[in-house]
Every structure is written in C-alpha cells, then in structure tokens.
C-alpha cells in the first residue's frame, strides 16, 4: 500500500462516483481510498456496501455519529487514524483527479516536505455535461481549454516542469508523509466553520515544524466540479481570529487533535 487518498465528502454522491471512477482509471495502482464523510448518511453506507467490489482499490469509510454541523477537521483526523499508507493525500468530494494524480504523489512525497497542488475550476456547462455523461476520459486539457471553465492553465499536465512559486496548501489537493501529521497531533478540531482549519492552519504548523513546501502544480491535477460558493466572510474572519493566538504562541502541536488535551 503506497498511498492513502482521503476524500472529504458531504452529501454529493454523484460527485463521489465521478471521483471514484477517475481513481479507477489511474495510471498507477497500489493505493487505498478513505471516504471522510462529514455526515452520517445511510445512502453512503449502502453505496459502499453494494459498489465497493467494482473498484480496483480498497475503500474505507469514516463518518459522524450524527450530522452535527461542520466537523471536517474531526473527520479528517478519524480518517488519518485508519489510513494504512505512509503517504497521505487529501482531496475534496467535488474534485476529480487527473489520471496521473496517484503516480505523481507516490513518486514525489518524501519526509521533510509537504506538497501542494492546484485545481481547474470547471464551469457549470462542462460540469453538467460531465455529470450527465459520466465520461471522465473527456476531461482533457483541450476540452477544458475550450469550455466555460476558469484556471484552465492548471489543467496542463507535465511530468518535467517544476514550479518553485510558493502558493500554499489548498485543502482540496495536497499531500504529506503521515508521520508529519502525527507529529503535529493532526488537524485542529477547534475549527468548526469551513475554511482555514483544514488548510491554512495545518500549513503554518507544518512550516513551523521545519517542513518545506514543494509544488506539484501541473503534475497532480484535480478538476473542481462547479457549485455555488458556500463560504461566508464572517466565518473566515472568526477562524482567522481563532488562529491568531495559536500562531503567536507557536502552538504547532494542537491540543484538540488526534489526541485530546496535549
């Protein structure tokens, strides 16, 4: 088992099916998938029970005991606990991986670094067509280029280009050695509003622990399925206020993480 892919998922089974189909078509196998469900839906349980046998990778599943609001960091910690590989990658349940996604992360992830990818922002028209046709193979650079998408350049794949620009973690596409997450006590479950906790917070703690950022831009690509923006500015402000004293105290090992009360 070379890689554990943790998919943060909430109430979008059609999107999840597209992601799993794309993972079934990867150029490199030898990985597992952990569905990190911020919910407690019987629909997901039934899907995994009935369909898991048709994928060429193992599917694990974590979920809430009840839908208790935004608990993404809590669910990520539960997923990290059961992940079996030394290398861990995180994507969101609205992001479809490129066919060389796994190959890239397996090849590049090593101790001392965390790895940041980017995303193509698929437009509504191409997203609707994709959901209707379910033809993952049509997510080529040319098809994206001539679509209603944004950030199209992020969809150009190259195994040789190296980007040095430090653009930081996007929670929908990044990877690291599991040992580095364990050393920081995982994700900080104090964050109970979307944004910051699952990317910005973990990023500054990884950096301050001595890790370096490495870009996998145009190597590990994901295609973000269109949906209306769901973040709120007030929530972002509250999260930033919560994070500030943690940074001032250099609290890189969070207290409310994989273990409690550290």
pLDDT per residue over 175-222, tens digit each?
999 999 999 999 999 999 888 989 999 999 999 999 999 999 999 999
- How confident is the prediction for the chain on average, in pLDDT? 94
The pLDDT, as a whole number, for residue 194 is 87
Burial class (CB in 10 A: 0-12, 13-18, 19+), 12: middle
Bridge pairing between strands 173-177 and 31-37: unpaired
Phi (first) and psi of residue 212, to 5 degrees: -110, 150
Pick one of 1.20.970.10, 3.40.50.2300, 3.90.550.10, 3.40.190.100 as the CATH number of 3-248. 3.90.550.10
User: What is the phi/psi pair of residue 58, to 5°?
Assistant: -80, 140
Q: How many CA atoms lie within 13 A of 240 on its CB side?
A: 6
The pLDDT of residue 205 is 98
Picking from 61, 157, 72, 74, the residue whose alpha carbon sits closest to that of residue 117 is 157
Percent residues over pLDDT 70 in the chain: 97
Q: Give tens-digit pLDDT for 35-74.
A: 999 998 899 999 999 999 999 999 999 999 888 778 999 9
Confidence at residue 228, expressed as pLDDT on a 0 to 100 scale: 80
The tens digit of pLDDT for each residue in 142-165 reads 999 999 999 999 999 998 877 767
Residue 51: phi, psi to the nearest 5? Answer: -115, -15
């Amino acid at each position: 088992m070379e890689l554990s892919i943790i998919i943060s998922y909430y109430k979008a089974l059609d999107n999840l099916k597209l992601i799993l189909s794309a993972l079934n078509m990867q150029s490199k196998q030898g990985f597992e998938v952990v569905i990190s469900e911020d919910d407690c839906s019987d629909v997901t349980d039934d899907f995994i029970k009935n369909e898991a046998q048709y994928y060429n990778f193992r599917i694990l599943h974590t979920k809430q005991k009840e839908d208790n609001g935004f608990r993404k960091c809590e669910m990520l910690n539960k997923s990290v606990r059961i992940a079996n590989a030394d290398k861990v990658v995180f994507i969101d349940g609205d992001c479809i991986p490129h066919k060389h996604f796994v190959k890239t992360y397996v090849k590049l992830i090593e101790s001392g670094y965390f790895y940041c990818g980017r995303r193509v922002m698929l437009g509504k028209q191409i997203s609707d067509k994709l959901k209707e046709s379910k033809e993952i193979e049509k997510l080529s650079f040319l098809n994206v280029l001539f679509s209603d998408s944004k950030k199209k350049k992020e969809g150009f794949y190259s195994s040789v280009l190296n980007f040095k620009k430090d653009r930081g973690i996007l929670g929908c596409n990044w990877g690291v050695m599991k040992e580095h997450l364990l050393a920081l006590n995982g994700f900080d479950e104090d964050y109970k509003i979307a944004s910051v906790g699952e990317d910005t917070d973990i990023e500054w703690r990884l950096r301050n622990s001595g890790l370096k950022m490495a870009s996998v831009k145009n190597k590990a690509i994901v295609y973000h399925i269109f949906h209306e923006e769901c973040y709120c500015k007030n929530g972002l402000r509250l999260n930033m206020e919560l994070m500030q004293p943690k940074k001032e105290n250099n609290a890189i090992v969070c207290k409310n993480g994989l273990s409690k009360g550290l």
